[in-house]
Structure 1
């Protein structure tokens, strides 16, 4: 259950949505992308009201708002090649015509630092980190302006987490905006411009990342920070 939620994601920035399991952060992110249509209130994208369910949304809304799921082992179709999965996302969103789909797939893979020949492989042939890069490429092929990342590093080991965070940080050098959903304030340090802390469906703290992490005001935020292990 969410209560009195209101916030903005500014163009070209990363807003981190932080909270423990059950805090409401995944429910909120799914409301934004249209996978949880039962809510009161309004979502606006570039000033335009967005219908509550993804089926009601127009083509440009599908393209401009993309979602990367948490589990890299379950988010890709096991019987589709990497290239087919990326191309399917492009067709569903009403992107380029078939004649340029191969080029679009290649460009998307290059954006996530993956070789074009990977397009012919199946998910079972990839590591967890590679699968997550492919999932990000599948979202990027539509050329979105907002990417919602739902716990995209939580199933990965620490070294692979770092490479995915570096990739996302590099992607923001263009006009891409991120809503980065996580339970880990330690991860937030490396990527977020702003932080929203959610507890029991309510925003309990919000502000610049340096302020929220460096001088948290709410006891819940402080408790989250206390659980972060500092590695020297």
Structure 2
């Protein structure tokens, strides 16, 4: 962890860090990571369940920085089979140039290893799950239907079914963690959908009220227009009648 990195390795590391969205702008890597907060954010980006960011306080004091790194070692890094020595931590908290890069490089490697293990465990566990299901179906025998002369009913098996296969009795915690993350993401999406559905319902109600108001105003206008039209016609008829006798008299003579 104390070995110097080549320029190529450093550039690759910086590019990797730049791809990750962190809470603070990246200006000087030695100072940026000195309090351990951004290191915690790095791990949380890949494994959200491993890190509780509320435990890590942005700090300028060396004591708080040491506390953050100590907590990272105890609560996070050990789950990645990773540890930062005390002397290295002291150099990091003092923002010594070149002290953080080897640590981040080693941390990146541990993150990649855990990701690879997670994928491997997922694949193996799913293969095992599929095999066990196939075996259970074979042992239970073929599925049969009720007598064709009777009304269609539920499917009946010739033997009692085995208890449902429980996924992951001996599954690695990494796989359990992955499942929990997926469940949390699904729950968050469901909550978002419910919120959007509520907003849509409210908007539909508002549109309905607007339509009723427009309909009411339209009827009101229709009731006013015939009165005005009738008044105009009455005045015209009156004028015509006043002139009519004179014309009739002329024609009679």
Which bin holds the TM-score, normalised by the shorter protein? under 0.3
Flag the structure with more relative contact order, 1 or 2, with Cα contacts below 8 A and sequence separation at least 6: 1
- Of Structure 1 and Structure 2, the greater helix share is in 2
- Indicate the structure (1 or 2) with the bigger Cα radius of gyration: 2
TM-score, normalised with respect to structure 1? 0.22
TM-score, normalised with respect to structure 2? 0.20
